[in-house]
Amino acid sequence: MSILQQHTTARHTVRRPALRRRFTPVVVVYLALVALLVIGSVLVGVRGEVLLDQAGILNILTRSTALGLVAIGQTMVILTGSLDLSVAYLIGLTSLIAAETMAGQDGMVVPGVLLALAVAAAVGLVNGLVITVLKANAFIATLGVALILRGYLEDNYTGPAGDVPRGFQHLGYDRIGPLPVAALLMLAVAALAWWYLSRTRPGYHIYAVGGDIEVARLSGVPTRRVVVTAHVLCSLAAGLTGIYLASRLGSGAPYVGTDAGYDLESIAAVVLGGTLLAGGRGGVVGTIGGVLILATLDTIFDDLAVDPFFKDVVRGVVLVTAVALYARRMMADRTRGRLA
């Protein structure tokens, strides 16, 4: 090989890692979001409509709010290498608790919110303890809790219940300029979660446990406490979602979480945002990008009157493609690490 060829090969070798560092999963997911908005605008424009007018943007943000809140909490547990399949039923339960406690009275708004969050935290505590103390697999443990919640809801409710006071419904419908108040709340929760994960010791511990729980334990990280805390935070996020949906519906609804599929949808948003299901890598910023992609897809499909079954097919293809790309990237990173 000539000196010129060696120099060219070395230059390309240096350039590729630099490009990979620049195009992180977070950057990629937001580039994909921009591309989706452009393509969607063209497709919707062919039908003589506008995707990104005020109504379209409001629709995307409204769709993103509930899923975004759940996905923020799901990010916490997935980063530890766990997951939570009970969030959908918990959303329905907390919406009912909040609405029934409020009972249409403005003075009961705070007690209703606090009670709903307390129940959500208790469910998260149970999930965390079953996983850490009883050593149950996270999938089975949270599925079991989900079935318990489902049984309770089916035994005690046949439809909507409770009454949210009109003043509290402003949370679900009011706007500040073009932005829904609830969407701003969701972004505030995302910012708080980002700060917690990237600027606090418990946040560092979450990444350590997800990276290698045994190494984290030997390094002095309280691994049980970290996993339990992550599950409590996830359930609190689901509780906030239930409260928000109660404000939009005007009452509690037992299946408002399951009908929207927030358990699997939240996991899909987290994975689409670049967080590894194995844990230890990812974050809330990418998750919000994944949420916006799913919400934008739904808005485009509705504008185009796409068949619901085809919508699921496209969403599945998008998710599988994203996971395959992230997996390929990880394999390339590991290969370079071994060669180095």
* DSSP string across 55-121: HHHHHHHHHHHHHHHHHHHHHHHHHTT---S-HHHHHHHHHHHHHHHHTT-GGGHHHHHHHHHHHHH
Answer whether 79's CB lies under 8 Å from 234's CB.
Answer: no
Q: What is this structure's pTM?
A: 0.90
Answer whether 85's CB lies under 8 Å from 143's CB.
Answer: yes
Model pLDDT, residue 317: 83
Answer whether 273's CB lies under 8 Å from 288's CB.
Answer: yes
Answer whether 227's CB lies under 8 Å from 130's CB.
Answer: no
- The tokens 């334990």 sit on which residue? 217
- The contacts of residue 340 (CB under 8 Å, 6+ apart) are none
Question: Of 279, 296, 237, 299, nearest to 262 (Cα)?
Answer: 237
Q: Compute how many other C-beta atoms are within 10 angstroms of the C-beta atom of residue 48.
A: 6
Distance in angstroms (rounded) separating the CA atoms of residues 16 and 150 = 50
Distance in angstroms (rounded) separating the CA atoms of residues 200 and 214 = 21
Six token digits for residue 316:
């599945």
175 three-state secondary structure: strand
Six token digits for residue 296:
């934008």
Model pLDDT, residue 189: 96
Model pLDDT, residue 277: 86
Model pLDDT, residue 4: 47
Answer whether 77's CB lies under 8 Å from 83's CB.
Answer: yes
Write a three-state SS string for 201-264.
HHHHHHHHHHHCHHHHHHCCCCHHHHHHHHHHHHHHHHHHHHHHHHHHHCCECCCHHHHCCHHH
- 309: part of which helix (H) or strand (E)? helix 308-339
Model pLDDT, residue 67: 95
Distance in angstroms (rounded) separating the CA atoms of residues 310 and 61 = 23
Six token digits for residue 42:
């063209």
List, for residues 293-321, the tens digit of each pLDDT value: 999 999 999 888 888 788 888 888 887 87
Model pLDDT, residue 179: 87
Model pLDDT, residue 333: 63
Distance in angstroms (rounded) separating the CA atoms of residues 262 and 260 = 6
Distance in angstroms (rounded) separating the CA atoms of residues 140 and 103 = 35
Distance in angstroms (rounded) separating the CA atoms of residues 339 and 209 = 27
Answer whether 73's CB lies under 8 Å from 87's CB.
Answer: yes
Model pLDDT, residue 40: 92
Answer whether 184's CB lies under 8 Å from 65's CB.
Answer: no
Question: Residue 56 is which amino acid?
Answer: G
Low-confidence ranges of the chain (pLDDT < 50): 4, 6-10, 13-14
Work out the burial of residue 307: count CB atoms within 10 Å of its CB; fewer than 13 is exposed, 13-18 middle, 19 or more buried: exposed
169 three-state secondary structure: helix
DSSP 180: E
Model pLDDT, residue 324: 76
For the chain, what's the residue count?
340
